Amino acid sequence: MHQPPATEHLLPYRQHIDQLRDCGHDFWRRGWSLGTSSNYSMVVNRQPLTLLVTASGMDKGHLGINDFVLVDAAGQPTAAGQPKSSAETLLHCAAAEHRQAGCILHTHSVWGTLLSDHYRSQSGILIEGFEMLKGLAGITTHEQSFWLPIYENTQDIPELTSRVVAGWLAPDAPQPAVGFLIRRHGLYAWGTDFAAARRHIEVLEFLLECLGRRSILGTR
């Protein structure tokens, strides 16, 4: 597709942008980022914290090179004239700050939507016994269990962000904290860099599909 040139403030981040565009195309192809759902970000500076975030309302299967916004730690644009950043930008900022994430990806799959509802009374999903868990940073054996928290959905993103951060800061916060679900909304996952974040999304989406299909199959 013909693309206009990148605007000047985005020029230094062209490689990050292309990684997120490719990733968006793949997630869209798989049905994890349909409509204008999902949003993606990368940390491009730590001092001060600066994130490259997808602009609001974009088709993630066909992201243009200018469909991105630079924001600070509070989710505010760092340059004038940028498009509005994704509505859920604050969740990205929080993961970058409190979880040292270098890349944060949000998918909106059928299984993520359904299981975040199916397990809502437990406020999370305990995943254990699967070899695939080893794809999550900090897990070295299938015998280690993983807690994927579920948060109630809301349109009040600052309030949602507070709840998520409170969970991370709690003395008994489950480890590793590499992702969470929002009820009937989907999955957030992150990692130290783009490859780690994408791997975490693939691992967690795979495991959610396993749990959903296992429930239908009736094992155990």
Q: Which residues bind a second copy (CB under 8 A)?
A: 30-31, 34-37, 59, 108, 110-111, 113-114, 117-118, 129-132, 135, 140-143, 153, 155, 182, 184-186, 195, 198-200, 202-203, 205-206, 209-210, 212-219
Q: What distance in Å separates the CA atoms of residue 167 and residue 156, rounded to the nearest whole number?
A: 17
Output the smallest distance, CB 50 to a second copy, in A: 26
Please, which residue, 169 or 216, has the CB nearer to a second copy?
Answer: 216
- For residues 150-177, one letter each, b for 16 or more C-beta atoms within 10 angstroms of the residue's C-beta and e for the rest, the string is bbeeeeeeeebbeebbebeeeeeeeeeb
Please, which residue, 16 or 185, has the CB nearer to a second copy?
Answer: 185
**Of the candidates 138, 130, 220, which has an alpha carbon nearest to the alpha carbon of residue 177?**
138
Q: What distance in Å separates the CA atoms of residue 55 and residue 39, rounded to the nearest whole number?
A: 8
C-alpha angle with apex 70: 99 to 166, nearest 5 degrees? Answer: 25
Output the smallest distance, CB 102 to a second copy, in A: 16
CA distances to 60, 108, 172, 186, 218 from 37, rounded to whole Å, are 7, 6, 32, 9, 31
Output the smallest distance, CB 26 to a second copy, in A: 8
Please, which residue, 2 or 171, has the CB nearer to a second copy?
Answer: 2
Output the smallest distance, CB 199 to a second copy, in A: 5
Q: Which residue has the tokens 């699967």?
A: 130
Output the smallest distance, CB 123 to a second copy, in A: 16
Please, which residue, 73 or 132, has the CB nearer to a second copy?
Answer: 132
CA distances to 37, 76, 189 from 54, rounded to whole Å, are 11, 13, 15
Please, which residue, 1 or 169, has the CB nearer to a second copy?
Answer: 1
Please, which residue, 72 or 117, has the CB nearer to a second copy?
Answer: 117
Q: Which residue has the tokens 């989907």?
A: 186
Output the smallest distance, CB 32 to a second copy, in A: 10
